[in-house]
Amino acid sequence: MTPDPAPRQVDDAALARERLLGKPMPADRLRAWLVTAVIGLIGGFVRFQNLGNPTDNGTPVFDEKHYVPQAWQMLRNGGFEDNPAYELTVHPPLGKTMIAIGEWLFGYNGWGWRFTAALCGALMIVMIIRIARRLTRSTLLGAVAGVLLIADGVSHLQSRMGMLDIFLAFFVLAAFGSMLIDRDQVRTRLAIAVSEGWINDSQYGPRVGVRWFRLLTGVLLGLACGVKWSGLYFVAAFGLLTVLFDATARRSAGVRHPWLGSLLRDVLPAAWAFLGVMFLAYLSTWWGWFGSETGVDRHLVETTGGGFFDVVQGAMASLGKYTEHVLTFHSNLVTDPAKQHPWESKPWTWPMGLRPMLYYYEGNLTGCGEARCVAATMLIGTPALWWLALPMLAWGLWRMIGRLDWRYAAVIVAYLAGLLPWFINLDRQMYFFYVTPMAAFLVLGLVLPLGHLLGRARDGAERRGTGLLVVALYIGLVVANFVWLWPILNGDPITESRWQAELWLPSWR
């Protein structure tokens, strides 16, 4: 007979398993999916309501004027653009491909060029409910995250514009969720090794098998880069996070050399997922361009010479040189003091939304009960959310560094990945809509402390009731703030006095 393990060994294994798995996921799976479906449907209705309005006499508004015609070209040509558009074909094709899907379904009109943006915005509400539930192990807090994202002005308006940023935000949030699932799965596999007693067969810990969700994360990040190159910032951030997750998981499992074990067992597969798979996914977004003969700069090397890209042949060389030209364009897109865009902003104003953007304005309308009405759409982050960004960052950094709370680390790193890289070149033209991928992580960064306010079931009915009241009052404040902003997020006719009342700060004018 095999002797029973010593009590001390059993205790150590149980402790390691508890450290690995943490608090279990809630058991209310059916109720959680019902909550997700109901809030997702409400969010979808809000995002799609009167989607075709406003337009500029039936044409796109603001930067839609770049991407909507380019998407129509792609639809006409079978997946590629053939008009250099005054050298403004300066983003990868996936976002415009997604706009083209809506145009194929509904035609060249507001519903057509905004449909897939609204769909992605609605799906983000579903995703953030599930992501917040996984982060907090609370279906209630997942629901809170969904409601807050519905009521965020940035997410709302960007979901109703034929622009690229909502697609970038969609793929980044999906990659974040996939990365969290991978983290939980790795810890579950290591917990099995602890329970079965072979965790330290090697001093570096065991191999954890094929990590499909990490590969999916790489695919999703590649698709994010296929919308805008700023997806690369999240590639770096999520790559760092997954390595830290792996090393701390091995340490929690009791591996003798967790950091070296992570380096030997996890870093190379992570590099393949976050660089190799990501790059292949990015290249796949150029399928129409590769298959074309008249796509923008498709034969650039053959016509102008390759320079550095002479070592590469054919379409890949042309794509490399095209990329070089686009990078030069973005690097030289600096602010001209004599021709400054009236709504340009710098990244230190973004966390609190101090300089929003006016997308559309018409000042001579009827339909508001007075002789003269105003209709406008302005990109504004709901102040009840966005004005808490700096306290959220301060609290999150303290929890991340002082308490080593992995949940805050994940959210804060993702949030800062959307903000800090823009400080590198402050001379560059920048605008508030660049914050679109940050909005979901702002919501998550607020939901986590709301969980502290809410308390735990074992804290007692009075403490729990007080916490629930505080959280409910805050949600009500955010929703009321969003309802107040509704007319200028949707272009509804309002009186001139109401328009002025919407502009709370001098910098909003």
Domain boundaries, the chain: 26-333+349-508
Q: Which residue is listed with tokens 């929690």?
A: 252
Structure tokens at 299: 């034969």
Query: pLDDT 10s per residue in the chain (509 long)?
Result: 445 555 555 566 778 777 888 888 999 999 999 999 999 999 999 999 999 999 999 999 999 999 999 999 999 999 998 887 656 788 999 999 999 999 999 999 999 999 999 999 999 999 999 999 999 999 999 999 999 999 999 999 999 999 999 999 999 999 999 999 999 999 999 999 998 889 888 999 999 999 999 999 999 999 999 999 999 999 999 999 999 999 999 999 999 999 999 999 999 999 999 999 999 999 999 999 999 998 898 888 888 765 665 556 788 888 988 888 888 888 888 877 777 788 899 999 999 999 999 999 998 888 888 888 999 999 999 999 999 999 999 999 999 999 999 999 999 999 999 999 999 989 889 999 999 999 999 999 999 999 999 887 677 778 888 999 999 999 999 999 999 999 999 999 999 999 999 999 998 98
Bridge partners (DSSP) listed for residue 357: 379
What's this model's pTM, rounded to 2 decimal places? 0.95
Query: Which residues, 6 or more positions from 102, have their beta carbon under 8 angstroms from its beta carbon?
Result: 111, 112, 113, 114, 115, 116, 117
33 Cβ contact partners less than 8 Å away, ≥ 6 residues apart: none
Alpha-carbon separation of residue 103 from 73, 227, 460 (angstroms)? 11, 18, 55
Scanning the structure block, which residue is given the tokens 């033209």? 429
What's the burial of 105, exposed, middle or buried (CB within 10 Å: 0-12/13-18/19+)? exposed
SS3 209: coil
Beta-carbon contacts of residue 398 (< 8 Å; ≥ 6 apart): none
Q: What is the DSSP letter of 298?
A: T
Residues 406, 389: Cα–Cα separation, whole Å: 19
